[in-house]
Structure 1
Amino acid sequence: MEDLNALFASRVVGAQSSIVRELLAFSKMPHIISLAGGIPAADMFDLEGIEAATLEAMKMGVSAYQYSVTDGEPELRERVTHLIAERGIESDKDQVVITSGSQQGLDLVARTFIDAGDVVLVEQPTYLAAIQVFRMAGAEIASIKGSTDGLDLDDLEAQVKALKAQNKRIKALYIVPTFANPTGSTMSEANRVRLLSLAVEYNFVILEDDPYGEIRFEGDRVPSIYGLAKRTATGEDHAVYLSSFSKILVPGLRLGFIVANKAIREKIVLVKQSVDLHTPVLPQLIVEKYLASGHLKDRIPAISYTYGQRCASLMKALDEYVGEDLEYQKPVGGMFLWARLKNGMSATKLLNYGKDAGVVFVPGAAFYAEGADDSTLRLSFATVNPEGTVEAAKRLAVAIQKYKESN
């Protein structure tokens, strides 16, 4: 075994599995209510519409099963430009790359921009799988304070100056600016403009991840950072937009996309050639046919309404059953509620009592690259109906009581 360990690449030695992936198994257990997985609600899948799109795609014959171009089917890339135009992003299909889920998008941009030892800036806390990607790329991760308005830009600028003084190579900042995972926070337009100016001034690229932006319960859409960048002379050189069909259509087709200026896109396509040649054709055609049907535009309001109802129900239940022991940030969209235990309780320890009580969540420590706050936890309400959220809060109250009695 010692000889085998010597053969492994340093990037995988000591790498650990995501706790979120491990907790996903609990979502399939009938006696457990899972507030853990960041998965969309299966009862909101438009199975009839997807089946019709699949049949249309299969009628295309050989072209649905043959090799294809690396950057994605041209018709789907064109559909993506119409989709993001509704998000305020003007582009053409030659700025789009279709990926095998947004997770591959993260991997591709990491491979495109990051050398071992380069610095990647992330919000604290941030999306766990992004931390994994950047560590696999050999990046040094620098955590920037977060707030209810997203990234603390004063802390960002101070840290960038300090890192530059140490001759560190700052390549990128990763951010989920709208309904962030895990906190649910949204960055204001004014702060997005300032962030973009900092990226230009200090020469790093903003990796804007937007898988949840369509799922808004209340308020008005905030312009994307990439959309704002395209309105400036040099901003588009400092921003890349990533998104996914997983949260608004279905995750099993594993389709996402990247939008970037043509110079950046060209490099991303070269990297993707070496990774998988191209994203599978049949799922691309299915999504293209589905978008052509117009059903997605009709589905998003229903998804947003349902998730909003589930979020409101969970917040009300938490207030009633565990309000003395837990506080949370109210989200206005997305899939997550970020909470904090009071009185020095540990979310990691509480999880064990939660399993016994029949409810699971993700301890917040998993979302920190450094300096983890173990009193925090992420609760996902997307898959739990209002009745289930009440029962989940009751079970969480039982778990907290058992925790107190044992500590």
Structure 2
Amino acid sequence: MTVTAAAPGTTAAPTPPLAARAASVGGSPVRDILAVTARPEVINFAGGLPAPGLFDKEGITAAFHAVLTEQPERALQYSTTEGEPALRTAIAARYSGRGLATGVDDLLVTTGSQQALSLLATALIEPGDTVLVENPCYLAALQAFGFAGAQVIAVPCDEAGIDPQALDELVARHRPKLLYTVPTFQNPTGRTMPADRRAAIADTAARRGLWIIEDDPYGELRFEGERAPWIASYPGAEDRTILLGSFSKVMAPGLRLGWLRGPATLLRACAIAKQAADLHTPTVNQLAAARYLADNDLDAHLARVTGAYRERRDAMLGGLAEALPEGSSWIRPEGGMFVWAKLPEGYDTTALLPEVVKHLVAYVPGAPFYAGEPDVATLRMCFVTQSPDEIAEGLRRLGGALRR
């Protein structure tokens, strides 16, 4: 190929600009913080990273070995866009066994549940459409909807999640295309929506005409309390709720295996969008996950993980009163990975973070999680990655930084 330079005395024309959405949607502050605080001496509460020491390395290794030994041609070949039948069958069985009747054709396997969000944004949202989200909201969902050109409006929330009356009023006023919610152990707050609010959301969606995206990456990480039914199981929500799931938090995030469960017409649109994105999720990862589920007791593994996570949550909750300034408050999660805290008025956790990092500890400021006016005194801390002793030391460092 020949490259022709501009003629002498002339100026080369600039390249065309990036799409407006590429300039208008920012990067992830969580990823930025992780890059800055990657030094091993930093106790990092900023990430949403499962504890690597609790991965079932032997079981996953054996599953990959079996797949690559017994069916290498299939494992290394292209697959269907919808996903490997063996994996979808296993996922459907887990839902059906928990009271949500699900068939193989109700599922589309995605490359992590983050891709499911991107596919749904492509399939559902036109530029200018209104999307309702929780306040605060999972950051990467805000990014996905922003890239699609949506107008994102936050629904008022309290420690139990979405205010159903406020939601109903916003739907009547703005006629949104969809509502996005993480009702169980929400990211970033760790809160869980009670059953009566889930039923009210299903009722609003049915009466007003609304899609619901119910994101459930943490639901199996429960330490205490009773499991609330999925919104997708309530009358009125069955044909308008897309339920997202993932193996990232219960098996291993590096597998990049998620899925969406939804009505056939929407699944077809998402499958077409996925064909344009990556054709299909890696075959070998899907087959290995299916083999792992066939050969191992995932629920027994989860019991071990949640037992360790419970101890780590308790270690964090036990040290917050001493670490945070007087007048601070926080939510006590029944499961999941995060504690959400609010410092007294006058604190700005974004402005404080550089000084905190000098003390070799880090958190995520709360401001980026808000679709509207942020509460700058909030912060998110992940409690699952470090041991209880490391959590205690991290909180000691955090307290020293905040006292300065």
TM-score by length of 2: 0.94
Letter in 1 for 2:199: V
1:8 equivalent to 2:8? Answer no
Letter in 2 for 1:172: L
1:50 equivalent to 2:60? Answer yes
Contact persistence 1:27–1:37 (CA under 8 A)? no
Structure 1 unpaired stretches of 5+? 165-169, 403-407
Q: Provide the identity percentage.
A: 39
Moved more, 125-134 or 184-193: 184-193
Q: Residue in 1 aligned with 2:43?
A: 33
Which of residues 166, 172, 175 is equivalent to 1:161? 172
SS of the equivalent of 2:50 reads coil
Q: Residue in 2 aligned with 1:292?
A: 294
Q: Residue in 2 aligned with 1:20?
A: 30
SS of the equivalent of 2:268 reads helix
Q: Residue in 1 aligned with 2:393?
A: 391
SS of the equivalent of 1:236 reads coil
Contact persistence 1:87–1:223 (CA under 8 A)? no
Which of residues 375, 379, 382 is equivalent to 1:380? 382
**Quick one: structure 1 residues 345 and 255, their matched pair in 2 at CA, closer, same or farther if it must change by over 3 Å?**
same
Q: CA deviation at 1:325?
A: 5.3
Inter-partner Cα distance in structure 2 for 1:394 and 1:343: 22
Q: CA deviation at 1:3?
A: 6.3
Q: Residue in 2 aligned with 1:314?
A: 316
1:225 equivalent to 2:226? Answer no
Letter in 1 for 2:179: L
Q: Residue in 2 aligned with 1:360?
A: 362
Q: CA deviation at 1:162?
A: 2.0
1:262 equivalent to 2:264? Answer yes
Contact persistence 1:26–1:34 (CA under 8 A)? no
Contact persistence 1:88–1:224 (CA under 8 A)? no
Inter-partner Cα distance in structure 2 for 1:195 and 1:316: 34
Structure 2 unpaired stretches of 5+? 1-10
Contact persistence 1:71–1:96 (CA under 8 A)? yes
Contact persistence 1:26–1:360 (CA under 8 A)? no
Q: Deviations over 1:159-213 (max 9, x none)?
A: 222214xxxxx11100000000001111111111110110111111000000000
SS of the equivalent of 2:177 reads strand
Inter-partner Cα distance in structure 1 for 2:274 and 2:190: 31
Contact persistence 2:202–2:237 (CA under 8 A)? yes
Q: Residue in 1 aligned with 2:177?
A: 171
1:67 equivalent to 2:74? Answer no
Q: Deviations over 1:220-243 (max 9, x none)?
A: 111011122xxx3x5322100001
Moved more, 208-217 or 295-304: 295-304
CA RMSD of aligned residues (A): 1.6
Inter-partner Cα distance in structure 2 for 1:259 and 1:2: 50
Inter-partner Cα distance in structure 1 for 2:323 and 2:20: 47
Q: CA deviation at 1:323?
A: 5.3
Letter in 1 for 2:80: V
Q: CA deviation at 1:398?
A: 1.1
Q: Deviations over 1:40-99 (max 9, x none)?
A: 110110000000001011121210111111000011100111122244321100111000
Aligned pairs for 1:199-210 (under 5 A) are 199-210=205-216
